[in-house]
Structure 1
Amino acid sequence: MRVLLTGSSGWLGRYLAPMLQAAGHECVGLDIVPGAYTQIIASVADRTAIDQAFADYRTEAVIHAGALHKPDIARNPAQAFIDTNVSGTLNLLEAAIAAGHDRFVFTSTTSLMIRADVRAGKEGGAQQAWWLDEEFGPLRPRNIYGVTKLAAEHLCRLYHELHGLDVAILRTGRFFPEDDDTHSEPSGENLKANEFLNRRLTVEDAARAHVTALGAAPGMGCETYILSAPPPFGQAEAAALIDDAPAVIARHFPDAADIYARRGWTLPPYIDRVYDPSKFVRHTGFRFDTDFATILNALQSDGPLPYAHDPDYVSPIVRR
């Protein structure tokens, strides 16, 4: 299948494109900056360029992973988010319908689920961890990034209803390699390891999930899925995660505290949100390669950490 991949020069795209090729697909990359897997230099907001790309390459499906993200808020006006994340998605949907595509995979974000009270967490008075699955709501995104990604999700649903296009909406958790822009403690690698308990996945798992969604989309309808490493906890532990996360972690991983201590790391004192990817696993049979147990095994054996950490990583959009 010939697949148009937007965002092909980005962090996800550089992993996803070769996985598509390995799965037997022809990947046509589109991005505003050059990259190893990018054939078309254009913005999704440019409808003429999108129509030309569809005419030139006669693609059969779209994976729309290109977007402006939260860090881009500091360097772009709100209109740029609307042009790229909303109008760009509309351009692709309309072109896909005109080309007779039967599937569309949209990379969304769990960020749009983090309204003000969820973000406040324990400091805001939460009595238990927020359990974030696809039924969570109401959704009230807290910034222009979340607002535009939610609007794009609604466009995907509308075009499914109007035209029968099967759509997989993938709300991805964190997989960026750079340090968190809002937390300096614990250290970058330690923080990322902790997040595999509740809100992170590897970029490799994120890419593999997109390939899986592409194959599963026909007949799906329009479905929304959360992508994050499977948490070790059950929803019945939500209150305990707020009160004493290390005690809950110890029930599942008795050696975790000692393994962490040998590296000088710290476990989170509380966990106030948990992303639940079980719907995607149930619907597609997907299995995540990396979870918190994988992290502990790597630490225990002094092996390489199974996730990317690069505090100096800079997005290609910023470097251009």
Structure 2
Amino acid sequence: MNILLTGSSGWLGRHLAPLLAADGHHPVGLDVAPGPYTQIIGGVDDRALVARIMRDYRIDAVVHAAALHKPDIARVSRQRFIDVNVSGTLGLLEEAVAAGVDRFVFTSTTSLMISAAIRAGQGEAAAWIDETLTPLAPRNVYGATKLAAERLCRLIHDDHGLPIIILRTSRFFPEQDDQAHLIEQDGENSKAVELLHRRLTVEDAAEAHRIALGRAPDLGFGLFIISAPTPFVPADMLDLKRDAAAVITRLYPDVRELFAARGWTLPASIDRVYDAALAERMLGFRCRTDFGVVLESLRRQGRLPFTHDPSYISPQLAG
């Protein structure tokens, strides 16, 4: 298939494009910044450009990973978020329908599920978050525009029958968290802990998109949380909020020793847990890397199975 891959120069795009090519597809990369897998420089909000790409490259499928993200909030207006994340998505969807594209995968985010109350850690128990969570109350323009884009995906599917899969990915960025000053652990430490409840590797994120692309025509429409499988269950939520370290140690008896050897610490409290079980049941996808894989690498004193790069700068910002 000829696949339009938006955001092809980004962290996800540069990992996904080779997977698509290895499957025998022809990815056509569109990004505002140059990159090794980007053939066309431009924005998804350029409707005329999108229409020309659909026609000239005879696009069969779309993977829409381009977006303005949370770190952009400090430097980009709300209107620009709407232009790119909402209007850009609508243009891609409508041009896909007009071109007879037969499947569409949209990269969304679990961030849109986190209200101000969840973010503040209100309540006695951690939040158990799956696709049934309501009401959705995004706390910033990033989440609000991604939710609006999701709803446009549903509308276009309902109106035109375009097979669409929405993937709400949890964290997989390589850089330091923008709330690092609030986290006691260093970057590697915090990323390792997050694989328990709110993170996946970029390799797993790319594989999820590859699987979704293949499954879209059969499913018709689907919305899935994509995150490393959690060892926790809903009955753990109260204890996770009160004493997360004790819960983790119960599940992994040697974790304290392994963390101590690396100078890491366990979290005192966990405020949310993403449940990716629906993606495993319906999409047939399960992340390969979870917390257990991290511990095994610590036991072997091997390389960590995720990327931490505090110096990483997105191609868009670098340009």
Aligned pairs for 1:268-287 within 5 A: 268-287=267-286
SS at match of 1:12: helix
Alpha-carbon shift at residue 247 of structure 1 (Å): 1.2
Aligned mates of 1:89, 1:127 — CA distance in 2: 38
Matched ranges for 1:157-176 at <5 A: 157-176=154-173
Select the residue among 125, 128, 150 that pairs with 1:128. 125
Report if aligned partners of 2:229, 2:286 keep a CA contact under 8 Å in 1: no
1:156 to 144, 147, 153: 153
Partner of 1:242: 241
Q: Which residue number corresponds to residue 3 of structure 2?
A: 3
Once the 2 structures are TM-superposed, how far is the Cα of residue 66 of structure 1 from its aligned partner? Answer: 0.3
Q: How does 1:1-320 map to 2 (within 5 A)?
A: 1-121=1-121, 124=122, 126-184=123-181, 185-320=184-319
What one-letter code is carried by the residue in structure 2 that aligns with 1:243?
A: R
How many angstroms apart in 2 are the aligned matches of 1:140 and 1:286? 27
Secondary structure, aligned partner of 2:267:
coil
Question: 2:279 touches 2:286 (CA, 8 Å); kept in 1?
Answer: no
Post-superposition CA distance 1:11-65 (Å, at most 9, x none): 0000000011112211110001111000111100000110111111011000000
Instruction: State the TM-score, normalizing by the size of structure 1.
Output: 0.98
Displacement after TM superposition at 1:301 (Å): 0.8
**Does the 8 A contact of 2:163 with 2:216 survive in 1?**
yes
| TM-score when normalising by structure 2 | 0.98
Query: Deviations along 1:242-299, whole A, 9 cap, x unmatched?
Result: 1111111112111111100111100111111000111001112223110000001111
Residues 115 and 136, structure 2, Cα contact 8 Å, conserved in 1 = yes
Partner of 1:232, secondary structure, is coil
Moved over 3 A (4+): none
> Aligned with 1:298: secondary structure?
helix
Instruction: For 1:129 and 1:21, locate their aligned partners in 2 and report how far apart those are by CA, in whole Å.
Output: 41
Residues 284-293 or 84-93, more deviating: 284-293
Name the aligned partner's letter for residue 251 of structure 2.
H
Partners of 2:217 and 2:54 lie apart in 1 by 20
Task: List alignment gaps of at least 5 residues for structure 1.
Answer: none
- Distance (whole Å) between structure 2 residues aligned to residue 80 and residue 203 of structure 1: 26
Q: Which amino acid aligns with 1:110?
A: T
Structure 2 distance, partners of 1:318, 1:286, is 32
Query: Which SS does the other structure have where 1:306 is aligned?
Result: coil
Alpha-carbon distance in structure 1 between the residues aligned to 2:22 and 2:285: 17
Question: Which residue type is aligned with residue 223 of structure 2?
Answer: T
Q: Percent identity?
A: 60
Measure, in 1, the Cα distance between the counterparts of 2:98 and 2:83: 21
**Structure 2: which 5+ runs fail to align?**
none
Structure 1 residues 95-114: Cα deviation after superposition (integer angstroms, max 9, x where no partner) = 11011122110000000001
**Secondary structure of residue in 2 paired with 1:217:** helix
3-state DSSP of counterpart to 1:198: coil
Could you tell me which amino acid in structure 2 is paired with residue 211 of structure 1?
R
Q: 1:284 and 1:87 mapped to 2: Cα distance?
A: 28
Aligned with 2:313: secondary structure?
Answer: coil
Aligned length: 317
Report if the CA contact (8 A) 2:138-2:144 is conserved: yes
Shift of 1:219: 2.8
The amino acid that maps onto 2:170 is G
Residues 181-224 of structure 1, C-alpha deviation per residue, up to 9 Å, x if partnerless?
Answer: 11232100001001001000000000000000000000312211
Letter in 1 for 2:49: A
Aligned-residue CA RMSD (Å): 0.8
Please tell me the residue identity of whatever aligns with 2:159.
L
Q: Which amino acid aligns with 1:212?
A: I
